[in-house]
Each structure stands twice: as C-alpha cells, then as structure tokens.
Amino acid sequence: TTTVAMDFGRVSLDEDLILYLFGTPGQYRFWFMWDDIVRGAIGAIVLADTRRLADCFAAVDYFEQRQLPFVVGVNCFDGILRHSIEDVREALQISQAVPIITCDARNRDSTKSALIAVVEHTMSRAAART
C-alpha cells in the first residue's frame, strides 16, 4: 500500500546490532521529516517505480548532496522489469558507483535483499575511504 505518513520498522540482526528502518513518502509535503530521519543513518534505499521515475529525482539529489550512501531499488511489480537497469541509471543520471537493484517491495525476501544491498554498499564505501 502507499505510505501516507511515515513507516517505522526494527530488525534485530544480532543481540547488539539493530537495524532501524524509516520509510517516508517522496512527496514534497513530507520533506520536512527527511533531515531528522537521516540523522545517524548509514544509508538509504530510493525505491523507484519506473511508471513514475521523475518522482525519484528529489530523493536522489537529497542523498547525493548529503553524501549518504544509497542504492536505487527498481520496484518490479509482479516480477516484471519494464526497463533495463542501464536505462533507469541513465534516466536518473546516477553514477556507476551507485548500485541499482531490482526488488518487489511487497515481498519479504526481496526487501531483505535490498536492505543487505544498502548495508554492503555502505560498508564498501567506508572500506574504500580507509
């Protein structure tokens, strides 16, 4: 279903390692929440619906400007990828350094894979800086 405010989730990965998840709509009227939500964040997922790709520009710009690692998750409804990953990359003008993955946000295993992808991307960026 569509997010109309903010979603929150908590995933315990280990006794001492907890992943807090915040989901926000991309509409302008919700942008006031973004600065508070990303405080302390290790990374982000921009969920892209290729039927409304222009809606992703603000989120991509936001994370790029703050240098927060992010991945783009192309939401494949019913397992159908309507555009190639490279076409999405070109349309969003995203560098090759930003991973683009496919996912179905309604599927638990697919969502888990997307979360793993953002954590791995964040860790690889951190390793590259040291």
Domain extent for 93: 42-129
* Residue that the structure tokens 């997307």 belong to: 114
pLDDT for residue 99: 97
Query: 72 with 43: CB under 8 angstroms?
Result: no
For residue 85, is it within any domain? yes
For residue 74, is it within any domain? yes
Half-sphere exposure of 20 (CA within 13 A, CB side): 10
* Residue that the structure tokens 């302390």 belong to: 40
* Three-class secondary structure of residue 41 per DSSP: coil
For residue 19, is it within any domain? no
For residue 121, is it within any domain? yes
Q: What is the pLDDT along the chain (130 residues), one digit of tens a residue?
A: 555 677 888 888 788 878 888 887 777 777 788 888 888 898 999 999 888 888 889 899 999 999 999 999 999 977 788 889 999 999 999 999 999 999 998 888 998 899 999 999 999 988 888 7
- The angle subtended at Cα 36 by Cα 30 and Cα 40, nearest 5°, is 135
For residue 4, is it within any domain? no
Query: 53 with 17: CB under 8 angstroms?
Result: no
For residue 31, is it within any domain? no
For residue 65, is it within any domain? yes
Number of alpha helices (DSSP H) and beta strands (DSSP E) in the chain: 4, 5
pLDDT for residue 4: 65
pLDDT for residue 96: 95
pLDDT for residue 2: 56
CATH of the domain at 99: 3.40.50.300
The Cα–Cα gap between 22 and 48 comes to 16
> Domains in the chain: how many in total?
1
Q: Mind giving me the DSSP string for 74-107?
A: EE-GGG---S-HHHHHHHHT--TTS-EEEE-TT-
For residue 71, is it within any domain? yes
